[in-house]
C-alpha cells in the first residue's frame, strides 16, 4: 500500500512556522492544518498569534476557530477532527501541511496515538482549584516527573488535567502507538537562543501594539471569566492579572517576555526527543524545499 504523505512544520514559538507553511502550501498545492492548542478557540487571535486572512495569502487553513472559549477542547477531539481534515485534503489531491508548536497534538497524528480516555473528575478538580500553580506543579512532579518537564507550569487547567490523568493511569501520558496510514516529513525550525529571545520580544511588542489587551478585555465582556482566561495560560493569564489591576503594564510585558521564553524552551525539550525531525534555520528556504522535493518525489 502506497502511503499518503503529510508535511509537518513545527518548532518553538516565534520561529516563523506559519509563514513557512504558507510558502510551502503555495509551492506544493497544500492546505494548512493548525496544531495549536489555543488557536482552536474563537476570539483568541492576537494573543495566540493566529494567522490572519491576509497572512494566509489565499491558502486554505483548518483547525482555527473551532470552538467557543467557554468550552474545553481536548487533544483527542483535535486528533479526531484533524484526521477527517487530512482525509478530505488528500481526497482533493492536495498536500496536508500540519503546522504548530503543540507537541502532543503533532505527536498524536504522527505516531497515531491511542489517547487515554480519562473522564473529568469534578470532585478532584474542586479540591485542586483551591491550590496555587506552584502547589499543583509540585503534585504533578511527584506523580510524573517526566511530564512535569514539558508541561506549561503556569497553566492551572493543564496541570489539573495532567494530575487527573496521572491519578487514574499512573503517568501522563501513557500513550500507545498504532500503525498509521500516512508517511510524514517533520521539518523543525530552530534559531540560536539570543535570536529567539529577540524574536519573542519583538513579537510580544507587536501583539501589544496590535491590541492584545483590548482583545482580552473584549473576551471578558463576552462572558469569559478571569478564571477561565487564566486557564489558557501564557498571555491570557497575565492579561487577566493586568486587567484585574494585579500587575502594571510594565510588569505584564516583563513577565510575558520571561514566561514565553520559558515556554519556548519547553517546546524545544519536547521536540528534541523526536530524532525523526529534520532541523533548519527558518532562512534556509532552499534547503527546506530540497528536503520536501525529495519527500514528495
Q: Taking the CB of residue 171, how many other CB atoms lie within 10 A of it?
A: 15
Q: Report the alpha-carbon distance of residue 105 to residue 186 in Å, rounded.
A: 13
Nearest to 13 by CA among 154, 200, 193, 281: 200
Q: What is the pLDDT along the chain (297 residues), one digit of tens a residue?
A: 578 999 999 999 999 999 999 999 999 999 999 999 999 999 999 999 999 999 999 999 999 999 999 998 988 899 999 999 999 999 999 999 999 999 999 999 999 988 777 777 888 988 998 899 899 999 999 998 888 887 878 788 888 888 988 888 765 554 556 677 899 999 999 999 999 999 999 999 999 999 999 999 999 999 999 999 998 999 999 999 999 999 999 999 999 999 999 999 999 999 999 999 999 999 999 999 999 999 998
| pLDDT at residue 228, rounded to an integer | 94
Two domains, one topology: 4-115+175-296 and 116-174: no
| pLDDT at residue 138, rounded to an integer | 94
User: Are 101 and 10 a contacting pair, CB within 8 Å?
Assistant: yes
> Which numeric CATH code is attached to 116-174?
1.10.20
From first CA to last CA, the distance across the chain in angstroms is: 16
| pLDDT at residue 133, rounded to an integer | 87
Nearest to 150 by CA among 199, 101, 203: 101
* SS3 sequence of the chain: CCCEEEEEEECCCCCCHHHHHHHHHHHHCEEEEECCCCCCECCCCCCCCCCCHHHHCCCCEECCCCECCCCCCCHHHHHHHHHHHHHHHHHCCCEEEEEECCHHHHHHHHCCEECCCCCCCHHHHHHHCCCCHHHHHHHHHHHCHHHHHHCCCCCHHHHHHHHHHHHHHCCCCCCEECCCCEEEEEEEECCCHHHHHHHHHHHHHHHHHHCHHHHHHHHHHCCCCHHHHHHCCHHHHHHHHHHCCCCCHHHHHHHHHHHHHHHHHHHHHHHHCCCCCEEECCCCHHHHHHHHHHHHC
Top-level CATH class of 4-115+175-296?
A: alpha beta
Q: Taking the CB of residue 104, how many other CB atoms lie within 10 A of it?
A: 17
| pLDDT at residue 177, rounded to an integer | 64
Q: Report the alpha-carbon distance of residue 156 to residue 235 in Å, rounded.
A: 14
| pLDDT at residue 175, rounded to an integer | 55
Residue whose cell numbers read 501583539:
207
Domain ranges of the chain: 4-115+175-296, 116-174
Cβ neighbours of residue 9 closer than 8 Å, sequence gap 6 or more: 17, 20, 21, 24, 97, 98, 99, 100, 187, 189
Amino acid at each position: 500500500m502506497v502511503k499518503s504523505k503529510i508535511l509537518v512544520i513545527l518548532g518553538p514559538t516565534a520561529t516563523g512556522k506559519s509563514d513557512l507553511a504558507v510558502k510551502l502550501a503555495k509551492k506544493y498545492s497544500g492546505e494548512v492544518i493548525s496544531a495549536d492548542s489555543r488557536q482552536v478557540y474563537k476570539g483568541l487571535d492576537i494573543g495566540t498569534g493566529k494567522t490572519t486572512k491576509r497572512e494566509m495569502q489565499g491558502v486554505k487553513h483548518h483547525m482555527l476557530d473551532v470552538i467557543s472559549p467557554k468550552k474545553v477542547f481536548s487533544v483527542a477531539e483535535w486528533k479526531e477532527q484533524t484526521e477527517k481534515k487530512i482525509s478530505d485534503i488528500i481526497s482533493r489531491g492536495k498536500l496536508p501541511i500540519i503546522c504548530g508548536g503543540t507537541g502532543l497534538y503533532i505527536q498524536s497524528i504522527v505516531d497515531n496515538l491511542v489517547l487515554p480516555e480519562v473522564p473529568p473528575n469534578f470532585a478532584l478538580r474542586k479540591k485542586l482549584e483551591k491550590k496555587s500553580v506552584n502547589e499543583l506543579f509540585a503534585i504533578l512532579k511527584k506523580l510524573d516527573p517526566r511530564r512535569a518537564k514539558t508541561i506549561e507550569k503556569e497553566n492551572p487547567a493543564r496541570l489539573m488535567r495532567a494530575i487527573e490523568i496521572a491519578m487514574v493511569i499512573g503517568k501522563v501520558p501513557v500513550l500507545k502507538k498504532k500503525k498509521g496510514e500516512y508517511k510524514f516529513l517533520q521539518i523543525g525550525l530552530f534559531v540560536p537562543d539570543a535570536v529567539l529571545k529577540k524574536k519573542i520580544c519583538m513579537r510580544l511588542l507587536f501583539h501589544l501594539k496590535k491590541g492584545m489587551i483590548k482583545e482580552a478585555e473584549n473576551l471578558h465582556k463576552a462572558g469569559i471569566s478571569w478564571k477561565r482566561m487564566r486557564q489558557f495560560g501564557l498571555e491570557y493569564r497575565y492579561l487577566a492579572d493586568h486587567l484585574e489591576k494585579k500587575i502594571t503594564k510594565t510588569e505584564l510585558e516583563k513577565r510575558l517576555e520571561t514566561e514565553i521564553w520559558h515556554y519556548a524552551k519547553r517546546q524545544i525539550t519536547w521536540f528534541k526527543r523526536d530524532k525523526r525531525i529534520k532541523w533548519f534555520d527558518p532562512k534556509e528556504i532552499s534547503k527546506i524545499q530540497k528536503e520536501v522535493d525529495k519527500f514528495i518525489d
